[in-house]
Every structure is written in structure tokens, then in C-alpha cells.
Amino acid sequence: MFLFVISIQPSFAETSPAFIKTELKKSEKIWQGQRQTLLITLYTTTSFSGSTRIELPEVSGIIIMESEDRPLLGTKNIEGVSYIFKQYEIILFPKRAGSLTVPPFSVEFAFWGPKNKVVWQIFSTSELTFTVEKIPGADPERPVITTTNLQVDDQWQPVPGKAKVGDAFSRIITMTAADFSGMAFPPLNIQTIEGVGLYSKQPQVADKMQRGGFTGKRIETISYICEQPGTFTVPEAQIQWWNPETESLQNILLEAVELKVGTNPILQKDSPVDRKVSGDAWGSWKWTMAVLLCLGIAGAAFIRHRRTMKQQSSQVIDKENELFKTFKEVSASHDAAATMQALLLWLDYSELTGSSGSLTRFIELADDSELTLQVTALETTLYATGQKQHWAGNKLYSAVQRGRNKVKQYKPAAVRYGLPPLNP
């Protein structure tokens, strides 16, 4: 038989066969981001039964988590009464300076009561308020990691160097800190680079806990996809951290990396000879006609010149349409590599984003959420190490088609296809 009782923490032990006690273990100063330990101790004059349920609150400005260590068990004599106790550790990470408050929360556990019956009780902790010190000298625009030991490992796979359009590089940044949780690491500020696609995997966080302390780890994986030829620089970044023991502010530098991207023969568009009528041949023919014919015939030549230019434009448009049709057919095959290749080839030839097709720029101009979703899924499938994501060829094609129509509306034909002026 079970008895269920709702109770609050008694003011002294003699009033109940069970009670709880909360205590914050803190140093003289509590720094922003520094780990704090809140001890919750359960007491009973008999023995415990079943598991303990602790309803941790969500508090703005504080990360609150329960230690994975087993509770500490023991006995204690309080004012002549023998108690069995069970002690739990609650970990607090204050994320900002100033006065912070942990509101009361409930702790429920069971113990053996009179007549060999199990009694469940719910206790409420007391409100806890403490002051967090601001870290002197820290850049307020950048997060701070507070730990006695921070290790950062920055690895590239493959090592950056010469590359070609379509190549990808994975950057793995591993941060490890003492007395710091993987959940408490701030996200890295990864800057976008024009001409280079960027994809960040979901960070991996882990904690290795031991009695009295633990080590936190966060692994960031970023993929850089070369979209255009040229030289690009991944800018340097700094991670600032505060050592609460020495009260010193330090910085770890992630060095800048240069990517030299060349053209990809597979993605090269046709030779300009195939796209334009020879200017010399046209010029010779025009001047010959000018000598042989009168002004009226010269006027007819001007009309023919315009017609030829329109034919050239038509040929370019036909080629762009042909490449877009190829992209449609390949996307329906669900071949991720072939689809990306066909997409980049069409985009490069279309010149909707300039002389070199930038997929990132095209996505910005199209401003289509489905296009962003499908391209991200396609890039994840191709470039994210050990991670696959579903992409739909029909949805990708439809989104690209919408973006194509939208961007063309704001770009005249002479800009899109590079037509020479009719009246030079």
C-alpha cells in the first residue's frame, strides 16, 4: 500500500521522518560561465524506496543540469536522531553577469513509513539568489568560456590547398574544457564567404563526469564547398576564455586559411567561339557590303545585323534551355553528384549571378525557402561526412525553376547573356 503526501521542507528535522536540505557550494567569487554545484540532500529516519524525481526549472541566463553520477549515500546524526541520507548534485552554469535567481522546484521521493507502508512525499526547495561577476577585459561582443583548462583542436580534411570548383573541405573544431559542460559551450561565429558554400553539421556535445568534476567536449564540423574559381580566405577567429583560478583572460587563435580554387573541366561551359559569331568575319563582310552597295543596301545590312544578333541571342537562350532541361532530367534520377554537376553547369552558363555561377548568390536572389532546404539537403548528402539527408529531385527542380524565372525578371537579356550593344 502507498501513501501520497505533498509537503514542503521542514524547518527542523524533528517535525518529520523525512526532509530535504539544499546548499550551494560556491567560491568567494562566482564568475560568468563558471560551474556551480547545488547539493540536494534527502533525509529519512527509516530507509528510501524507489527512485527520486527532481523537477529542474528552466531559467533564463542559467544552464541547469543534473549530474549523471550516482547519489552519495550515508548516515548522519542530527540532534541525537540517526538519519539515512541520499545526496544529489545539480550543476549550474550562469551565462551572464549580475543577480540570478533559481526559483523553488519540487523534489519527490519515497521512504518506508509506519506499518511497513511506502510514503511518497513532494518537497519544495528554497529560492536561491546569487551574484555573478562580470569578466574584466572580455569582449562583450564575443562569448567567454570559463574554465581552468581549455584545449582547442582545429583540423581540416583534406588539408587546404589547390582545389577546383565542386571540391569540398571539412573543418573539424574540437573544444575540450575542465569543469565545463559540452552544452555550455557557445556556438562558434562562422562567417560566410562569397563564392564558397557553407554547411555546418549539428554540433556533437559530450560530458565525461567523475565525482567532484567533469570534462565537457563540443565538436563543430563545417563543410566548405567551392562554388567559384578564385582565391578565398577563411578569416581567422579567436576564442576567449577566463581562468577563474588565476583570474586571467586568454585567447586561442584559429588561424586564417586560404583556398585557391581553379576551374573544373567537368563544369566548364562551351567555348566562347560556340556562343558568339566571329567579330572579324562579320566586320569584313559588313565593310565589303558597304563598298559595293548603296546607302539603301547598307540600311538592309543594318537590319540583317540586328537579325543576326537576335539569332545569336536565340542560340544562347536555346543552349541555356538545353542545359536546364538536362538538369531537370538528371534531378529526376536521384543521383546527387550528377544533379549538383548539372545544376552548377546550367547556372554557370546562364550567368544569372555573373560570369561565374554562384549557387549561394542564386539562392539569395531567388529568396525561396524550399530552394534553400533542398540545396542544403543535396549538399549534406554530398559533402557532410557520415551524414545523409533526404532531398527530393522534383522539389529541387521546381524550386530552381521558380528561382530562374524570378531572377530573369530583374536581369535584362543583355546582362544575362552578354550581348554586344546594337549601336556601338
- Strands 144-146, 237-243: parallel, antiparallel or unpaired by DSSP? parallel
- Give the pLDDT score at 124: 93
CA 226-231-233 angle, to 5 degrees, is: 85
Q: Is the CB of residue 137 less than 8 Å from the CB of residue 239?
A: no
- Give the pLDDT score at 342: 84
Q: Residue holding cell 547539493?
A: 39
* Same domain as 149, residue 20: no
Q: Does pLDDT of 9 surpass 50?
A: no
Sequence-distant (6+) residues with CB within 8 A of 266 are 166, 341
Phi-psi region of 116 (alpha: psi -120 to 50; beta: other; left: phi over 0): left
pLDDT per position as a tens digit, 42-51: 999 999 998 8
Instruction: Give me the CATH number covering residue 16.
Output: 2.60.40
What per-residue string of b and e applies to 225-243 under the rule 16 or more CB within 10 Å gives b? bbbbbbebebeebebbbbe
132, 163, 180 - which closes a domain: 132
pLDDT per position as a tens digit, 349-396: 787 876 556 788 888 888 888 898 888 888 877 766 555 567 898 999
Give the global pTM: 0.62
Other residues' Cβ atoms within 10 Å of the Cβ of residue 40: 21
pLDDT per position as a tens digit, 264-302: 776 655 444 343 334 443 344 343 343 333 334 444 444
Q: Is the CB of residue 16 less than 8 Å from the CB of residue 7?
A: yes
How are the residues of the chain apportioned to helix, strand and coil, as percentages rounded to the nearest 5?
A: 30, 40, 35
102, 132, 162 - which closes a domain: 132
What is the Cα–Cα distance from 45 to 310, expressed in whole angstroms? 97
* Same domain as 297, residue 244: no
* Same domain as 230, residue 334: no
* Same domain as 319, residue 409: yes
Give the mean model confidence (pLDDT) for residues 61-70.
87
- Give the pLDDT score at 315: 54
* Same domain as 123, residue 24: yes
- Give the pLDDT score at 135: 93
Q: Is the CB of residue 129 less than 8 Å from the CB of residue 26?
A: no
Q: Which of 173-177, 290-294, 342-346 has the lowest mean pLDDT?
A: 290-294
* Same domain as 306, residue 191: no
What is the tally of structural domains in the chain? 3
pLDDT per position as a tens digit, 183-230: 889 888 888 888 898 888 888 998 887 665 678 999 999 989 888 899
Instruction: Give me the percent of the chain exceeding a pLDDT of 70.
Output: 77
Q: Is the CB of residue 146 less than 8 Å from the CB of residue 188?
A: no
* Same domain as 293, residue 244: no
Residue 243 lies in a domain: yes
Domain span including residue 255: 144-262
What is the Cα–Cα distance from 215 to 235, expressed in whole angstroms? 29
DSSP line for 154-189: EEEES-SSEEETT-EEEEEEEEEEET--GGGSPPP-
Residue 138 lies in a domain: no
Residue 423 lies in a domain: no
- Give the pLDDT score at 152: 95
DSSP state of 278: -
3-state SS class at 424:
coil
Sequence-distant (6+) residues with CB within 8 A of 137 are 249
Residue 414 C-beta-side C-alpha neighbours within 13 Å: 4
Residue 120 lies in a domain: yes
What is the Cα–Cα distance from 157 to 224, expressed in whole angstroms? 10
132, 158, 191 - which closes a domain: 132
Residue 298 lies in a domain: yes
Q: Does pLDDT of 54 surpass 90?
A: yes
For the chain, give the mean pLDDT. 79
* Same domain as 411, residue 274: yes
- Compute, in degrees rounded to 10, the torsion defined by CA atoms 264, 265, 271, 275: -60
Residue 178 lies in a domain: yes
Residue 422 lies in a domain: no
- Give the pLDDT score at 213: 67
* Same domain as 413, residue 388: yes
What is the Cα–Cα distance from 357 to 369, expressed in whole angstroms? 20
* Same domain as 105, residue 9: yes
What is the Cα–Cα distance from 142 to 240, expressed in whole angstroms? 8
* Same domain as 88, residue 41: yes
What is the Cα–Cα distance from 154 to 172, expressed in whole angstroms? 6
* Same domain as 278, residue 411: yes
- Give the pLDDT score at 389: 65
Residue 372 lies in a domain: yes
